[in-house]
Amino acid sequence: MDIQGLRVTFPADGIALLELDRPHRRNALDRALLDGLPGVLTGLAADDRVRALVVSGRGGAFCAGGDLDAIAASDGESPEEGRARMEREFATARLLLEFRAPTVAAVDGAAVGAGMALALACDLRIGSPEAVFASPFIRMALVPDWGVSWLLARAVGQARATEIALSARKVAAEEALRIGLLDAVVPGPLDEALARAVPLADAEPAAAAATKRLIAGSAGGFQDAIDAEIEAQLCAVRSPEFTRRMGEWSRSVRGR
């Protein structure tokens, strides 16, 4: 699929590289990406040639979360419309988490909100010294979504995940490596991610897929977390406090 703001290439045998390509917006997810990513991931998962997937962002950022214009476009939707939209959009994180082949995230710069989910849904995460994670939902009177509540707890434990989500603070590369958000910090995360993908792509595909399913099955259900997030978010987006804080957040971001 040809999606504006998205590049899919095959840099080595068996390895697909998916790059968010909206550097002028720190690779924030606009409507084209929100609508197109599930189909792209489904197509790559169905391609037997893909034995490892690397996910990255171009231009010094991984993904700054949802684009403000795309978020604003959801104003006025009914709860039913909001639920249907969230189910479509959040499926991206599930498709990445359940991708049949090994996945590696190359995190350079910001991985915020939904961008944090994209990174955490990958099997391995390689970051640059400039990598930074954040779950800023609480600042807008929202709850974590895209599976962040489940993915973050899986990566760093429940207590630390709660602190990161409630404080909305930024977690820089050094701390991210120490607590498990990153597996390595190197100056060239994409090159390192592609290098690590090579032996992963050599694994027998059925065994690799089964290994991933077994490990994922050792925790609580991801879809249960998604469903709970949607219900909580539908309540949150209808609150006056969300309207006020989202306006403040939008003005601060656009004023940078």
pLDDT digits (tens, 9 = 90+) for 168-190: 999 999 999 999 999 999 999 99
Question: Residue 186 corresponds to which tokens in the numbers above?
Answer: 């190197």
Residue 137 lies in a domain: yes
Residue 99 phi, psi (nearest 5): -55, 130
Per residue in 28-46, pLDDT (tens digit) is 999 999 999 999 999 999 9
> What is the rounded distance in angstroms from the CA atom of residue 106 to the CA atom of residue 232?
30
Predicted local confidence at residue 196, as pLDDT = 97
What's CA 188's distance to the chain center, in Å?
20
> Could you tell me if residue 57 is inside a domain?
yes
Look at residue 85 and tell me if it is in a domain: yes
Which run of H or E residues covers position 81? helix 79-97
Query: Strand 184-185 to strand 103-107: parallel, antiparallel, or no bridges (unpaired)?
Result: unpaired
pTM over 0.85: yes
Mean pLDDT by 10 residues, the chain (256 residues): 91 98 96 95 97 97 91 82 93 96 98 97 98 95 94 96 98 98 97 97 90 72 80 85 84 74
207 domain residue, yes or no: no
Eight-state DSSP code of residue 63: B
Give me the long-range contacts of 186-190 (CB less than 8 A, separation at least 24).
Answer: 186/126, 186/127, 186/128, 187/128, 187/129, 188/128, 189/56, 189/106, 189/107, 189/108, 189/126, 189/127, 189/128, 189/131, 190/54, 190/56, 190/106, 190/108
Buried b (16+ CB within 10 A) or exposed e, 16-49: bbbbbbbeebbbbbbbebbbbbbebbeebbeeee
Closest by Cα among 139, 170, 165 to 247: 139
Number of domains in the chain: 1
Q: Which residue has the tokens 């979504």?
A: 145
Query: Residue 237 class from Cβ within 10 Å (0-12 exposed, 13-18 middle, 19+ buried)?
Result: buried
User: What CATH code is carried by the domain that includes residue 55?
Assistant: 3.90.226.10
Residue with tokens 């709660």: 162
Q: Give the count of beta carbons closer than 10 Å to the beta carbon of residue 216.
A: 14
The answer to whether residue 244 is domain-embedded is: no
Strand order in the sheet with 103-107: 6-12, 15-20, 52-57, 103-107, 124-127, 184-185
In a domain, 30, yes or no: yes
**Domain-embedded: residue 209:** no
* Most distant pair of Cα atoms in the chain: their distance: 52
213 within a domain of the structure (yes/no) = no
Q: Which domain holds residue 103?
A: 6-188
